[in-house]
Chains A and B, each alone.
Chain A
Amino acid sequence: MRLEKCWFCSSTIYPGHGIQFVRNDAKIFRFCRSKCHKNFKMKRNPRKVKWTKAYRRVHGKDMTQDSTFEFERKRNRPERYDRNLAENVLKAIPKIDKIRVTREEKHHKNRMKGKKQKLQMEAARELEQGISLVKAPSVLQKDPSLTLPKIKVGVSQQQSEDNHPMEE
């Protein structure tokens, strides 16, 4: 009843699902869906297929280094049963999962930082380059209301404090 990971896409394989290929050197390849199995048979590299976790890890799109990853691992040595320890572990699992989700969201937010600024710059550039399609350049000389103002004026803004306490 172990939960294994798919060789190709790294998603979890629950019991009764997927297919397993044992090569003649006894190496086992587990697949969660026929999609992954077909990709394996076509000899595709998971690091080059964009929807796999291996690709996302290599290209920095997912969080890769975190202490919460150390709690989940394959343990090849059985532990002696201890009732108190088992109860504490069962209590800790949802807490650790919540912490991991929070950190992944923070990682995503950090990765998406600067996107708004990038979009604004792109919009300004597009307006500058494409305004002649809407109005002729000679008309723009007389009526400059459709273009951005060339002169920057200093504006004093009051910024509210954004010091939220740490969520963990």
Chain B
Amino acid sequence: MGGKCPHRNVKKRRYSHKTARRTKFELKGDDMVYAQLNKPDQERPPLPVDEDLPGMGQYYCLHCDRYFANITVRDEHFKTKRHKKRIKQMMGPAPHTQLDADLASGMGMPDNGPKLMSM
């Protein structure tokens, strides 16, 4: 006795609960959320009906990338501290992109050449 139990694996256990797995692997990136938020309202597509999601996927929080069962639960979510923190974060400066990295290293803006003829 005294050795490590061969069946207990910390690495596997670390992501065994739903919140950790969701936070690390499933949430949308900041730049995707930021791009969606800055689209004008006309260009935002209506939420598709999906039977696999709670509430048929119609009650959605874009900042936090979460679906809710009905409008009451979603409005309760809007009062939470985590959501407010997320809103404040998305109101701030634009997230970092590859273009920012290129400009910081001393490159100019990309050259896309002349606009092609519209067919």
Contacts and interface: CB of A to CB of B under 8 A. Distances in A.
Interface in B77-111: 93, 95-96, 98, 100-111
B113 interface: yes
Contacts, number: 73
B111 A7 contact: no
Given A5-B98, A47-B96, A54-B96, A10 B104 contact: yes
B32 interface: yes
A25 B111 CA distance: 23
B112 interface: yes
A69 interface: yes
Nearest to B106: A69
A10 B101 contact: yes
B107 A5 contact: yes
Contact of A71 (B95, B102, B108): B108
Contact of A11 (B96, B105, B108, B114): B105
A23 interface: yes
A74 B107 contact: yes
A45 B96 contact: yes
A12 B101 CA distance: 10
Given A23-B29, A69-B106, A29 B112 contact: no
A77 interface: yes
A73 B111 CA distance: 7
Contacts of B29: 23, 25, 27
Interface of B: 29, 31-32, 93, 95-96, 98, 100-114
21 contacts: A5-B101, A5-B105, A5-B107, A11-B105, A25-B32, A27-B29, A27-B31, A53-B101, A54-B101, A69-B107, A71-B108, A72-B106, A72-B107, A73-B108, A73-B110, A73-B111, A74-B110, A75-B113, A76-B112, A77-B111, A77-B114
Given A10-B102, A29-B98, 5 more contacts: A7-B96, A27-B29, A52-B104, A69-B108, A73-B110
For the complex of A and B, 4 pairs with smallest distance between CB atoms: A77-B113, A10-B105, A73-B108, A53-B104
